[in-house]
Amino acid sequence: MKKPTLIDVARIADVSAITVSRTLRDPERVSESTRIKVQAAVEELGYVPDSAASTLASKRSTVIGMLVPSFSNNVFSQVLAGAYDAIEGTKYSIQIGNTRYSALKEEEMVRRFLTMKPAGMIVAGVDQTEMTRKLLKATDCPVVQVMDIADDPIDSIVGFSNFQAAAEATYYMIQEGFRRIAFVGTRMDPRTQMRMAGYRSMMEKSGLYDPALQITTQIKSSVEIGRHLLGDILSTVPDCDAVFCNNDDVAVGIAFECERRNIRIPQDMGICGFNDLGTTSQMNPAVTSVHTPRVEIGKVAAQIVIDANAKIETRSEKIYDLGFELKKRASTNLRGAAFRSR
Amino acid sequence: MKKPTLIDVARIADVSAITVSRTLRDPERVSESTRIKVQAAVEELGYVPDSAASTLASKRSTVIGMLVPSFSNNVFSQVLAGAYDAIEGTKYSIQIGNTRYSALKEEEMVRRFLTMKPAGMIVAGVDQTEMTRKLLKATDCPVVQVMDIADDPIDSIVGFSNFQAAAEATYYMIQEGFRRIAFVGTRMDPRTQMRMAGYRSMMEKSGLYDPALQITTQIKSSVEIGRHLLGDILSTVPDCDAVFCNNDDVAVGIAFECERRNIRIPQDMGICGFNDLGTTSQMNPAVTSVHTPRVEIGKVAAQIVIDANAKIETRSEKIYDLGFELKKRASTNLRGAAFRSR
DNA sequence: CTGTTAGCGCATTCAC
DNA sequence: GTGAATGCGCTAACAG
């Protein structure tokens, strides 16, 4: 007993194969009576379309290609989760590629994905190689960049401004009275670099910029590396009075190490994280962070692909800025802490 | 300028299409001279095989289907990461389905995946529905269950014993001198239930079992829920002297809340987490946890699928117990703490 | 609104 | 070791 095909369904419904095909793909285009007959036959046989055959014949698959730089980074698992939410119940599926933060690897994967005629492509960030941009511009499937914002997207872009988010957080810390604010950057991927630029711009504007305050490493972010980095900071810039971290786990590590060394938060050291991954809000004292709409970004990106394939007219603008939210917590509340410690 | 096909390559290499096909899939089966000609032609044209056509003709795809219960759970992102490591550079790709901890949804997704003739299926745990087991047993592709161990796998199984891991952690805490050890369980998925069973078995064996010590909720685990649960525990079983949590984030939340309430760790409250996700080891005091080989599990599972497809004879046993490791840290070091506090 | 014809690009089967 | 014929299951393009 082998898998039923369109022809089997057609025979039972007493129509031609192509009619069955149409009924399944676009029920509006057949008469109601045929639709009912066909649907009954499909039900009876438990027919499920063969996607390989469909892809081959139509030169268009139902696979959405999604390229992320990392799995270990929580941020991207959440973007993925959002995208999977969006395709739930649709005919689309997602195939993921791991670029490992390499633009060249990304280019190679884009090539590979494009050969399978994807329904859409979702890529992280805006730092593609020239060739990748060219390939993605030339393809006829929708392309969505995620996790940042730029003026000149390849096609659509969904995210928030890493530059602005960092600038706003930095501004807030300055307002709170911090002066020697360090930027702590791990991995130094393009989004972290944008954050550093936002930080720098605001520090310069306030006459507080000092290159020595930029502490960076190529190592990936983790709670452990955060702890080590506090040591580096204190030996390099002993008068540092606050840290702005490119990711929450680094901020958590720094907070733990401050506690261990009896460095008071925020009186001796202000701390601000990025992404608001869930732990910072629960600490003692709670750690300030920039909340980012990761799940929403994934959801919107996948929805753009789905809508474009259905030719649904969506918002004409191709730039979807989903914003961010600075979560002000005790770890940077210097004015409040000064007041309380009297 | 359209995509080159096998025939284009064949023309340039001056052989037939089928020879090109063979050269690409099994270079050993053609003579060296043809192999060189063909490979040169492939290179020249930048030929990339069409996977839809190949799937249709061979009734076997290069997609590995992988069903996970959740994306937000770090544990599964790491299993995914391991699986992606294993397929790197191979012809295989992975398609993920999110079962959202529902066995029925899983069944539906298994059905859907099987229609695409996958190269293999990887599913989480051992609690499939009867129908899912039947479907997976009947398929001819390799099936790998991950994240637990059982005697009667569908096909292969890669994981560790959640029961044993919990029993061992519980035994260790009892040895340390804890008596009123609570089990804190979130989500209550099958693996958490196995952990609870392991805990219970050891508590019973020691004459310490008390159902009131089992604190469970259907809510998913998070640092925040951990904090709330400590309150529940203390009001339900005020004499509780330790907690064994089903996941690290819950343990972290409980540690934070202890700190906030000036409950000393481990003197007043011992804490043990599960999975060793990275934060527990960095805390003050460091929190004990059961380290689980998540990345390795994913990697081995995908490798099993790859090897089975290549007909490479692997270990004949189908059960791969990758073990676990109890990381004993300060949060449960009651004997050491008692000594130091003199 | 429905059917006919003709492939999509590749792998299987059987020759040689 | 290599090739010819055939079909996988579906859909595009065109009729009617």
- CATH number (domain holding residue B42): 1.10.260.40
Question: Which residue in A118, A105, A93 sits closest to A68, CA to CA?
Answer: A105
| CA–CA dist B12, A54 (Å, integer) | 29
CA distances from B139 to A259, B270, B312 (A): 56, 48, 19
* From A48, A56, A253, residue closest to B282, measured CB to CB: A253
Position A167 scores a pLDDT of 98
Q: Is the pLDDT of residue B341 over 70?
A: no
- C-alpha A136/C-alpha A143 separation (Å) is 7
DSSP letter at B221 equals P
Contact call for residues B255 and B271 (beta carbons, < 8 A)? yes
In this predicted model, what pLDDT tens digit does every residue of A42-52 receive, in sequence order? 999 999 999 99
In a domain, B321, yes or no: no
pLDDT at A73: 86
Please report how many Cα atoms fall inside a 13 Å half-sphere around the Cα of residue A108, on the Cβ side.
11
Q: Looking at CA atoms only, how far is residue A208 from chain B in angstroms?
A: 32
Nearest by CB: B56 against A53, A74, A94: A53
Handedness of CA B182, B187, B193, B195 (dihedral sign): negative
Helix (H) or strand (E) holding B120: strand B120-124
Q: Among all chains, which residue has been given the structure tokens 């639709």?
A: A35
- Is the model more confident about A10 or about A339? A10
With beta carbons less than 8 A apart as the criterion, state whether A230 and A182 touch.
no
> Does B231 reside within a domain?
yes
Nearest alpha carbon to residue B275 among B302, B244, B303 = B244
Regarding predicted confidence, which is higher, B1 or B279?
A: B279
What is the extent of the structural domain holding A25?
6-49
| Residue whose tokens read 């409040």 | A336
Residue at shortest CA–C1' distance from C3: A16
Beta strands in B176-257 (DSSP E): 181-185, 214-216, 242-245
Q: What pLDDT, on a 0 to 100 scale, did the predictor assign at position B331?
A: 98
Provide the pLDDT for residue B340. Answer: 55
C-alpha distances in angstroms, A248 versus A1, A252, A323? 55, 6, 18
**Pair B136, B255 in one domain:** no
Both B280 and B171 in one domain: the answer is yes
Question: What mean pLDDT is predicted for residues A132-159?
Answer: 94
| B94, closest residue in chain A (CA to CA) | A95
Q: Which residue of B lies nearest to A259 if distances are taken between CA atoms?
A: B284
Mean residue pLDDT of chain A comes to 93
**pLDDT tops 70 at residue A207:** yes
Rounded to whole angstroms, the distance from the CA of residue B8 to the C1' of nucleotide C15 is 24
In the A/B pair of chains, how many CB contacts fall below 8 A?
110
Selecting from A52, A81, A84 the residue whose C-beta is nearest the C-beta of B55 gives A52
Task: Indicate yes or no: strand D within 7 A of the C-beta of B57.
Answer: yes
* Whole-number percent of chain A with pLDDT over 90: 86
Q: Is the pLDDT of residue A230 over 90?
A: yes
Enumerate chain B positions whose Cβ falls within 8 A of a Cβ in A: 3, 48, 50-53, 55-56, 61, 63, 71-72, 74, 77-78, 80-81, 84, 88, 93-96, 98, 111-112, 115-117, 222-224, 227, 249, 252-253, 256, 259-260, 278-279, 281-284
Q: What is the mean pLDDT of chain B?
A: 93
Q: Is residue A230 part of a domain?
A: yes
Tokens of B134: 């039947």
The predicted model gives A215-238 an average pLDDT of: 97
Q: Using CA atoms, how far apart are residues B89 and B257, in angstroms rounded to an integer? A: 46
CB contact (8 A) between residue B52 and residue A256: no
Whether B206 and B333 map to the same domain: the answer is: yes
Q: Does residue B307 sit within a domain?
A: yes
**A77 and A144 fall within a common domain:** yes
Rounded (5°) CA angle B96-B100-B101 = 115
Question: pTM of whole model > 0.85?
Answer: yes
CA distance B163 to A73: 29
Residue A292, by phi and psi: left (phi above 0), alpha (psi -120 to 50) or beta? Answer: beta
Contact state of A284 with B50 under an 8 Å Cβ cutoff: no
Beta strands, E only, B15-70: 63-68
- Number of compact structural domains in chain B: 3
Please give the average per-residue pLDDT across B91-119, as a whole number.
Answer: 92
Do the domain assignments include residue B169? yes
Mutate to test the interface with B, among A93, A101, A277 (most CBs of B within 10 A): A93
- pLDDT at B134 exceeding the cut of 80: yes
The residue assigned the tokens 């340390």 is B176
Distance B15 CA to D10 C1' (A): 29
Is the Cβ atom of B58 within 7 Å of strand D at any atom? no
Q: Are residues B146 and B175 in the same domain?
A: no
Same structural domain for residues B26 and B68? Answer: no
pLDDT of residue A1: 58
Residue A1 in domain: no
SS3 label, residue B328? coil
Based on the fold, state whether residues A335 and A189 are members of the same structural domain.
yes
Summarised one tens digit per residue, pLDDT across range A269-304 is 999 999 999 999 999 999 999 999 999 999 999 999
A172: closest CA of chain B, how far (Å): 26
Average pLDDT over residues B8-27: 92
Whether the pLDDT of residue A34 is over 70: the answer is: yes
Q: Please, which positions of strand C sit below 7 A from a protein CB? A: 1-5, 7-13
A316 within some domain: no
Does position A67 have pLDDT exceeding 50, yes or no? yes
Q: Are residues A113 and A25 both part of a single domain?
A: no
Q: Which CATH number characterizes residue B169's domain?
A: 3.40.50.2300
Which among A56, A70, A186, A252 is the top mutation candidate for probing chain B, defined by the most B β-carbons within 10 Å of its own β-carbon?
A56
> In terms of C-beta density within 10 A (0-12 exposed, 13-18 middle, 19 or more buried), how is residue A260 classed?
middle
Give the number of other CB atoms < 10 A from CB of residue A335.
Answer: 12
**Which residue places its CA closest to the C1' of nucleotide C1?**
A30
- Shortest CA–C1' contact from B31: which nucleotide? D1
Q: Residues A200, A334: one domain? A: yes
- The pLDDT tens digits for A72-124 are 888 999 999 999 999 998 999 999 999 999 999 999 999 989 988 999 999 99
Q: Distance between CA A147 and CA A241 in Å, rounded?
A: 30
Rounded (5°) CA angle B171-B328-B167: 25
Q: Is the CB of B195 under 7 A from strand D?
A: no
CA of A302 to C1' of D14 (A): 35
Candidates B95, B115, B222; nearest CB to A278: B222
Across the range B204-213, mean pLDDT stands at: 98
CA-to-C1' distance for A18 and C4, Å? 10
Confidence of residue A243 (pLDDT cuts 50, 70, 90): very high
- Tell whether B168 and B238 lie within a shared domain: yes
Q: Which nucleotides of D are covered by protein (CB under 7 A)?
A: 1-5, 7-13
B104 and B168 within one domain: no
CB contact under 8 A, B95 and A93: yes
B238: helix, coil or strand?
coil
Residue B274 DSSP label? E
CB A87 within 8 A of CB A302: yes
Average pLDDT on B202-221 reads 98
For residues A64 and A120, the answer to whether their CB atoms sit within 8 Å is yes
Closest alpha carbon within chain B to A254: B282
Using the predicted structure, report yes or no on whether residue A205 has a pLDDT greater than 80: yes
DSSP letter at A267?
T
Query: Which is it for strands B325-327 and B288-291: parallel, antiparallel or unpaired?
Result: antiparallel
DSSP class of residue B162 equals: H
Taking the C1' atom of D12, which residue's CA lies nearest? A58
CA distance A132 to A242: 39
Task: Identify the band that residue B342 occupies on the pLDDT scale cut at 50, 70 and 90.
Answer: very low
Assigned domain for B57 exists: no
Residue with nearest Cα to nucleotide C8 C1': A57
Which pLDDT belongs to residue A342? 39
- Residues A152 and A233 occupy one common structural domain: no
Q: What share of chain A is helix, strand, coil (3-state, %, to 5)?
A: 50, 15, 35
